[in-house]
Amino acid sequence: MSDAQRLFNALYAAMPGILDQPLNPALAAAKTTSPDSSVSGAHMPLDLFSPLNLGALALPNRILMAPLTRTRAGTTHIPNDLMVEYYSQRAGAGLIFTECTLISPDASAYLGEGGLFDEATQAGWMRVTEAVHAKGGRIFMQVWHAGRAAHSDINGVQPISSSNKPIRNDLTHTPKGKVPYETPRPLRTEEIPGIVELFRQSAIRAKAAGFDGIQIHGAHGDLVDQFLRDSVNDRSDQYGGSIENRARLLLEIVDATASVLGADRVGVRISPLVAFNDMAESQPKELVEYVAKELQKRGVGHLELRHEQWDQPAELELAKIAREHYKGALLLNGGFDADSGHAAIREGRADAIVYGKAFLANPDLVQRFAKKAALNAVDFTTLYSPGGKGYTDYPTLAA
């Protein structure tokens, strides 16, 4: 197995299982939630190609690009020319989510992920947002803190978390090679406002860099998820115990970032059933219900449920619960193709579908879906390798 394949396995294969845009009148007619709503009064059934109002944004289609870590930024975490090209190639997406982006230089987990924590990283991302906007696209930054998935061999500091429980039975890549995850340091209650402030600062920088909004990464066992889910969070303060307490950090981050961008330019991604990074939750239904209700109260622009495979019974049930309690743009992800995406929208189970691997290998995915064209296959050997191979050289239909 190549190093790249091993890194992919370590990162993801092991998972079981803004700029203001004037609303165009056709887009204004698109409803975000009603399964049988019509566009422009034409009584067309909704599908992936229907426009969508997602919070403050008017999207031309419902085929969204998932956050995808590709580790092309190098140790500075500054977006470079290659990243400008990669993201702008995918501007046809209804909305692009960036790779999970470091909000603090001492929270790196993946060696080479993009960052947004100083003037240089901000300037790098500004080139990305300008290139995407110049091609008519829209882009949200996925803001992220790795928590216990980080390592002192990368960052020079012990990782932090909700508890002192390490990620078990797995290795992480560091400059010294593959090593076990470390025992994290549980954050003291009085340190938590500082974490919330890091997210607020990232929202300020995201706005300055020209992003159309942000997505708070609350999935995959990142720091926010380490508070959300009870396999890790064993705290006895106001950030642990009940679901209300476990969701407190997420909601404080939502409020802090919404104070900068407006709630309609903030969204949340959660993955209550995904076990990647040694995560589990004993009350996934209740957790989704509570988070969905709280995001609804706050007018948050989108909620994304990231599943391993969308069509499993427990996954379908969570999507139903989210739909019932959250009336903003509900996004689903995990194993969708074009047909299952159209069906989810037609049946009102989702407002938009988030595509990961398909967008990675098909910069013109929207066009390919429209023409029912074959898709390029993912080259798993180049997911995290340096350079443009397997990053910016996937062919388009026109090529």
Ligand X SMILES: Cc1cc2nc3c(=O)[nH]c(=O)nc-3n(C[C@H](O)[C@H](O)[C@H](O)COP(=O)(O)O)c2cc1C
Query: What distance in Å separates the CA atoms of residue 336 and residue 316, rounded to the nearest whole number?
Result: 13
368 binds ligand X per the rule CB under 6 A:
no
- Least Å distance, CB 17 to ligand X, is 11
Min separation Cβ 353 and ligand X, Å: 8
Asked if 357 interacts with ligand X (CB under 6 A), we say yes
Rounded Cα–Cα distance for residues 35 and 42 (Å): 15
Assigned token pair, 241: 């115990």
> Collapsing DSSP states into helix, strand and coil, what is residue 143?
strand
Q: Which is nearer to ligand X, 115 or 186 (CB)?
A: 115
Please answer whether residues 395 and 374 qualify as being in contact, where contact means their C-beta atoms are separated by less than 8 angstroms: no
Q: Residue holding tokens 């998932």? A: 66
- For the chain, helix, strand, coil in percent to 5 are 35, 15, 50
What would the x/- binding string for ligand X be over residues 206 to 245, using CB under 6 A?
-----------x-xx-------------------------
Does 328 bind ligand X (CB under 6 A)? Our answer is: no
Q: What are the backbone angles phi and psi of residue 180, rounded to the nearest 5°? A: -65, 155
Contact region with ligand X (CB under 6 A), list: 118-126, 129-137, 165-173, 333-341 = 333-341
List the end-to-end C-alpha distance of the chain, in Å, as a whole number.
31
Stretch that binds ligand X, among 122-130, 186-194, 282-290, 351-359 (CB under 6 A): 351-359
Query: Measured from the CB atom, is 39 or 214 closer to ligand X?
Result: 214
| Cβ-based neighbours of 316, under 8 Å, separated by 6 or more | 310, 349
Q: How far apart are CA 76 and CA 195, in angstroms?
A: 22
Of positions 265, 306, 323, 368, contacts ligand X by CB under 6 A: 306
Told to check if 100 binds ligand X by CB under 6 A, we report yes
If the CB atoms of residues 57 and 73 are measured against ligand X, the closer one turns out to be 73
Residues that bind ligand X (CB under 6 A): 12, 66-69, 99-100, 142, 217, 219-220, 269, 306, 333-336, 355-358, 383
